[in-house]
Each structure stands twice: as C-alpha cells, then as structure tokens.
Amino acid sequence: MLTANAIQERVHFHNTGPSSVPGLIVMSIEDGHEGLPGLSQLDPIYSYIVVIVNACPTEVSFTSSVRARTLQLHPVQVMSTDEIVKRSTFDTNSGCFTVPARTTSVFVEPRGL
C-alpha cells in the first residue's frame, strides 16, 4: 500500500465512538477479491485480517460487523506455545470476538473458503 488513499480503502478501525471499549483496538485489513471491484489482491493467502489488541486486565468480548466471515486464529498463534492467545475466539454467527487479557490476537480469512 503506497498511498494514504490505498490504506484508507483497506484498513478500518471498529472499536470507535462513545460506546467503544477502553483499552481495546480492533483493526481490519481488507484485501481484494472478486466480490470487491476496484480493490486489487495483495496477499495470495488471506482475503481479510482482523487484529485485536486487548490491553485490559480482563478478557474482552467485542461484537463486530464482520459476521458471516470465515475467520480463524492465525496459524502462527494456533501453533504457538502461548496457551493464552490460543483461547482467542471468533463466532461467525454473532460476529463476536473474545480475546484474553493483555493479548494481541490475529484472525485471518483464508482465500477460497
């Protein structure tokens, strides 16, 4: 992404406004695919990425507008020795992410799912 406009087209922050959860950053990155005209594909593996930074001392659940996506915890985190990050979840039906205290979790949607 070489321009500010290219970044603004792809990167979005979801925990914003007066009802935002303090200490929680929720960022998504959209990659191009056939159903999204005008947005070129940059990553051959993932079509959508959500990064959640939970700086809170407690587990946080956050419901987002990304329902019906096939998001899963990034394979590096799944294979990690960090048992805490492995407790991070995403519910496709509700769009709810749950992330343990003081944890950064990366959820990805592989292409072709």
Domain range annotation of the chain: 4-110
The answer to whether residue 36 scores a pLDDT higher than 70 is no
The proportion of the chain whose per-residue pLDDT surpasses 70, expressed as a percent, equals: 92
* Helix (H/G/I), strand (E/B), else coil: 46: strand
pTM score, whole prediction? 0.90
Average pLDDT over residues 73-96: 97
The answer to whether residue 3 scores a pLDDT higher than 90 is no
The answer to whether residue 87 scores a pLDDT higher than 90 is yes
**Would you state the CATH architecture of domain 4-110?**
Sandwich (2.60)
Average pLDDT over the chain reads 90
